[in-house]
Amino acid sequence: MRKTLYLKFVLAYFIFGVFAFITVATFVPSMTREQLVREKAENLYSEAELIAENYASGLYTSETSLEEVKTQLDALAIYLDSVIRIINPSGRLVLDTETPINVEDVVVIENFDPTVTRGSYYTVDRFFDNYDTNVLSVFAPIASNFKVKGYVVIICDMAEIEASCNNLVNISYITLVILFLLSGIILIFFTEMVYMPLRKITYATEQYASGNMHYEFQVESEDEIGYLAACLNYMASEIARSEDDQKKFVANVSHDFRSPLTSIRGYLEAMLDGTIPPEMREKYLNIVLNETERLTKLTNSLLTLNNLNTRGMLLDKTDFDIHQVIRRIAATFEGSCRQKSISIEAILCGDKMYVHADMEKIQQVLYNLLDNAIKFSHHNSVIKIETSEKKNKVFVSVKDTGIGIPKEDLKLIWDRFYKSDLSRGKDKKGTGLGLSIVKEIINAHGEHINVISTEGEGSEFIFSLPQSDIDEEED
């Protein structure tokens, strides 16, 4: 494809050159000759008319003698570089600047016919076979008493006109060659601005097609081709990034699956081969159970994330009371709160607060946030769930006074599988997927979630939801 595009352009360029040459060679010489002949004929005709009026008519009225007229016309013929003849309508030669006057010798031009000009006043021919080559002959009638007495004919050699014509045609050819060479600039522009960038783009697409998504190339232009190249570069870098993410994701998943499986296998083998005595089995079976719970949690989280992504997050939005959902979720954590003597305080703005969202997914958000808050809270502490309303938005905050999040981790906690070093001791079952699920759900609702946290003091997660149009009173 690459070669043919360039060849096509070069071919088109030369075809253009050939056609331009053929056109010039066909039309320019004939048009130039015609124009030159017409101009020359016009000039000679004015002279012939003058001669007819001033000298020749006198001949027929016997006002002037033949010798006198001949002397005048001889001088004029030299000046005009032509032959001047006065011819009677019958063809009899009255006067000829080429031959001396000889009254006895009557010369008649065979087949003389002044209408040969066919409506014009000049002809280009061999002048009734008087010449071997073509000559330009101009006819001006000599009139007296409204009768044509004869004709002044000025005959001019075509050689001079042909020479001028050839000169002009040569100038046309030279101009054509210069124009052809100059239009080669278009070819250079095409090569530099279209062909070379296209080659780069084609090579880059070949690289991408063969899987080398990290290939980078540059097209230094700000036109459509530059834009296309920039888009292609961006597309490749995005694909490369998502490929890298995918690899990282698979590596993380494999790692998170392998460690509980290894410990389960270790304990089970130890039980089977007797390393763990039967009276200790219950303790280790509980550990194994914990690990299977962790695996179940991990699998569920992965499935949730996968569903969120593949379905482009289809939300089943309804109007529901967020306060009721908060109370319900808080109640499910009663057991784990009691274990750590943690109390959950709900500071809710009003009895009911209707939001328009996917209830099931918002439950999951609250569940994940509360789960984290409890996990990372110290014993005997309070977790506050607060709601507020502003500009048709409902803000939900989950605040704890636990270990907090180091400043450098704040941006990373939303990434899949991210667990801060600080949290590892506190939370052995964590998958690092909870917050990425939360963020995906909130973003799918077109809303935002933020975190405010100080290491050692606690964290607050605040997210927004659209308030429903339903009036509280209506319910």
CB hemisphere CA count around 216 (13 angstroms): 5
82 vs 459, beta carbon nearer ligand ADP: 459
Pairwise CA distance, residues 172 & 27, whole Å: 11
Q: Pick from 215, 208, 202: which is nearest to 4 by CA?
A: 202
Question: Exposure of 4 by Cβ count < 10 A (0-12 exposed, 13-18 middle, 19+ buried)?
Answer: exposed
Helix (H) or strand (E) holding 157: strand 147-157
- Any contact of residue 433 with ligand ADP (CB under 6 A)? yes
Tokens of 462: 């605040």
Window 369 to 398, contacts with ligand ADP (CB under 6 A): 372-373, 376
Tokens of 123: 């002809």
Can you name the residues that pair with 152 across neighbouring β-strands? 86, 140
165 vs 373, beta carbon nearer ligand ADP: 373
Kindly indicate which of the ranges 1-9, 29-37, 287-295, 430-438 contains the residues binding ligand ADP, using the contact rule CB under 6 A.
Answer: 430-438
266 vs 456, beta carbon nearer ligand ADP: 456
Tokens of 348: 């809710």
Count of residues in contact with ligand ADP, rule CB under 6 A: 23
**Cβ 382 to ligand ADP shortest distance, Å:** 13
**Cβ 289 to ligand ADP shortest distance, Å:** 19
6 vs 414, beta carbon nearer ligand ADP: 414
Pairwise CA distance, residues 234 & 217, whole Å: 11
161 vs 433, beta carbon nearer ligand ADP: 433
Kindly indicate which of the ranges 26-34, 260-268, 319-327, 428-436 contains the residues binding ligand ADP, using the contact rule CB under 6 A.
Answer: 428-436
CB hemisphere CA count around 2 (13 angstroms): 12
57 vs 368, beta carbon nearer ligand ADP: 368
- Any contact of residue 435 with ligand ADP (CB under 6 A)? yes
- Any contact of residue 432 with ligand ADP (CB under 6 A)? yes
Kindly indicate which of the ranges 244-252, 257-265, 332-340, 412-420 contains the residues binding ligand ADP, using the contact rule CB under 6 A.
Answer: 412-420
- For the four alpha carbons of 283, 285, 290 and 291, in that order, the dihedral sign comes to positive
Tokens of 456: 């050692």
**Cβ 372 to ligand ADP shortest distance, Å:** 3
Pick one of 32, 364, 423, 464: the residue that binds ligand ADP (CB under 6 A): 423
**Which residues lie closer than 8 Å to 69 by C-beta, 6 or more apart?**
55, 56, 58, 59, 86, 95
Please give the residue ranges that form the binding site for ligand ADP (CB under 6 A). 368, 372-373, 376, 400, 402-405, 413, 418-420, 423, 427, 430-436, 459
